[in-house]
Structures are given as structure tokens and as C-alpha cells.
Structure 1
Amino acid sequence: MEKLPKMDQQELIDYIGKRKVMLFFSADWCPDCRFIKPVMPEIEAQNPDFVFVYVDRDENIDLCGALDVYGIPSFVAFDGAQEIGRFVNKDRKTQGQVQEFIDELVA
């Protein structure tokens, strides 16, 4: 999984380019993030249409605000510059819930 460097919203759009990208917002101190993190490689492998990108919430706090991401772990999907879906809240997420969210995007 790629790790997003610190950037603002316009830099993010440039970074995404024409790719389908799934942003995974997380932080090392977050217990619910640590819960989902071990299964992220499997989720990533099951969804090759997306480039998965780890976004450190603390490093990119301004970007989180610009994208209205106030709870972690959270997921925001883009197809090029267009946001196509979000699974954003502060609740713990299971592998099944994340996969269901992604399945709805590609259906």
C-alpha cells in the first residue's frame, strides 16, 4: 500500500491523476485502525481495480478537514478527480464491512 505524503486537496487530486484510488485514513494510536490494519493487504489483493493509499490522519490533518474525514479508520474512493464513495465514521470496521462498501462501488 502506498503512503500519502503530506499534501493539500489540490495536490491530492494531482496525485490521484486518472487512477481509481481508495484512501485509507488511519493513525498509529487508533485502536480501531489497528483492528482493521492486519486485513488491509487481503482487502487490497481482493480489489485490484483500486490503488490503496494509506493516509496518516495526524500528518494530513488539514487534508482530512478539507475532505470532511473526522473519524478513523475511514475510506474515501476516487476515480480520477471524482469522489465516488466514502465509508467515513469513527466506528470500528470489519473486513466484511469494508468489502461490502467496495463491492457497492463497483456494482
Structure 2
Amino acid sequence: MKNLNSIEEFEGLKNGERVLFVFSADWCGDCRFLDPILPIIEEKYAQYEFIQIDRDEFIDLCVNMDIFGIPSFVAYEKGVELGRFVSKERKTQQEIEAFIDSL
């Protein structure tokens, strides 16, 4: 999974084809729980570009997007938010896949 490098990159990506932003942090235990699962999900949903956003590095972006819990997921297509799965709760593979299926 590619990591976000700048706000400008974020703006460009969200205006492109299907992209799924994954908000995370190195210290987040629930985020690390997803580490072995995310490559499986990324492969299954290859129509999306998965981009990881470090919450600590992009705290202003998280505040502006109302991302107050991690891990969280926000999907965009051509600049339009398709949906969000945002909370501070641990997420399972089934919950993440159900979210993506609902988009």
C-alpha cells in the first residue's frame, strides 16, 4: 500500500478514479491488527487504489475530514466521497469488506 506524501497528492488522488484512504498510525494497536489483513483486501478490491495516511503526519487533514478515530477508511471517486467507515473501534476483515461492498 502506498503512503500519502503531501496534501497536494491527497487532492490529486481524491479527484482521480476510485481511491480508498486508510487512516492509521504506527502506535495504533488496532491499526497494526489490520496489517496482515489489508494486503488481502487490497488484492480483492483491485478496482480501488489504497492509500495509507499517517494520522500523526497529517493531523490537520484528519481534523478537516472529521477523522477522530483510527483505523478509518474514506473512499472517493472523481472528487466525490463515496462513503466512510470512521470510528476508533477495531475493525475486522468482514466489516471492512462489507463497507467496500456497500460503496
* TM-score bucket of the superposed structures, by smaller chain: over 0.9
Amino acid at match of 1:92: R
Q: Of residues 89, 94, 100 in structure 2, which corresponds to 1:102? A: 100
Give the structure 2 partner of residue 61 of structure 1. 59
TM-score by length of 2: 0.94
What secondary structure does 1:75 align onto?
strand
TM-score (norm 1): 0.91
Q: Is the 8 A contact 2:15 2:76 kept in 1?
A: no
Closer/same/farther in 2, CA of residues 15 and 103 from structure 1, 3 Å limit: closer
Task: Give me the CA root mean square deviation.
Answer: 1.2
C-alpha displacement at 1:81, in angstroms?
0.7
Structure 2: gaps (5+ residues):
none
Match of 1:73 among 71, 74, 79: 71
1:25 equivalent to 2:23? Answer yes
Equivalent-residue separation in structure 2 for 1:80 and 1:12 (angstroms): 12
Structure 1: gaps spanning 5 or more residues: none
Q: Match of 1:83, SS?
A: strand
Residue-pair matches, total: 103
1:13 to partner: Cα distance: 2.3
1:83-102 → structure 2 map (5 Å cutoff): 83-102=81-100
Match of 1:14 in 2: 12
Q: Tell me, in whole angstroms, the C-alpha distance in 1 between the residues paired with 2:63 and 2:84.
A: 14
Aligned twin of 2:2: 2
